[in-house]
Structure 1
Amino acid sequence: RTLERAADGRCACDATSRRSLPGVNRLSCGMAAARRQQQLPTLATGPVPLLPIRDQARKNLVDLVDTKRGTKTLILDPSVSGPLTLLDLSLPKLLAEHGVTKLSHLEPVDELLLHAPSTDTRNVMYIIRATVENTMAVAQQIRAAVAARAAKADGGRDFAVFFVPRRTVACDRVLEDEGILGDVTVGELQLDLVPLEDDVLSLELPGAFRDCVVDGDSSPLFLMARALTKLQ
């Protein structure tokens, strides 16, 4: 159950507490709750050495955050925060060491992070699942911020969007159709293997069967093949 709660990225606080906690505090409380109830697996006793996979995934995350200098706001897709917590139980602290001063979940409308006068970070970074719905939500936020920047004639903010587990043509098309592709840095975070135990790995692709069988989308097969190649 602990792993399920962590994978969901849900906060252990009640709804009222979540609404009252801004930025990093709101998201950190969920990660702290999971941290109190579990320890990261050592990944040292299984038939395959999985520790390098976890270490490399953590390094990829840190390198991604370091692509922007100075302080930054990091907005996570809720379905991504759980797997990231399984890379490092002190994730908020790790991110803070690399300049992240505000940490929050992606929401349809996030006035707190993009329009509040107290928000002084120039860099806004998103790490989201590569879905059309997520990309639309991000596009709405960025478009509103770009419009506000034009109205105020100031320097505004620099935006970056990183897709998990890979960047897709469909998501690029959404950004282009919304007219913001030229205003953002676009990349990907290859979080394709998440060690859960010494002998358990997860691809974190809950919709893979539906995508392949119902929608005829073979993208999950590519991700599986890439993960197997990495494991080899």
Structure 2
Amino acid sequence: MSGLLVEKELKTYEFAHLSFQEYLAASQIKELQQESILIDNFQDPWWAETIRLYAAQNDATSLIQAGIETPTVHSLVLALDCQQESLKVDPETREQLDTILEQGLESNDPGIATLVAEVKLSRRLNNLTTMDDNLYIDSFYITCAEYQLFMDEDDLLYSGEHFAAGSAKQPITEVSWLNGMRFCLWLTAKASSLTRNSASESSVFFFRLPTWVISEKAFPIRVIAWTKGFQEIKGTES
């Protein structure tokens, strides 16, 4: 057990890393067939990694249904993670989740459209390409649906404006450098509610545009993120 547990106080021990606890919890739940515990706690972020680890070893259909039945950004992101990592998912459940995420972006219901766009943005922020421990680059352009979230909250720039029907998944284009910078400031403030482990200071993201866009008058948006420990070195990105 050396290295697995650490003595927090006299005769009081805890796991050296939360990942050990999450993995063992997932394994124990599988062995005792207590999946209902995970379903009951599907909305609790504390259980998210245990749920992902369990899904990777099992049929995740019931877990995904739990996310669909009580749709929030957290539950739909977690349901999609379970779908992608699981050993097995019922085809109808897979199709149901895919339909929600595909059609929701173009929904006429603002609440649904916003929810699904936030799911898409959350997935983006949780899957940035790692350059080093503190520097991350987004490999894809921001979509119209994701940029709409910013537009809806910035009445000074975009009062009542909306992307064209059918273009939700297309990259947002013709964005000025100034508006791109405003988007990055908005995203920095927004990201803490959309990324995993946001309570950790070291995992708080700050966003900016790639340096090449400074010379452009209008362009699609791709972002670069860094954490508090990052000291920018010239030439680390393009």
TM superposition score normalised by structure 1: 0.28
Q: Which has the larger radius of gyration?
A: 2
TM superposition score normalised by structure 2: 0.28
Structure number with higher strand proportion = 1
The structure whose RCO (Cα within 8 Å, separation 6+) is larger is 1
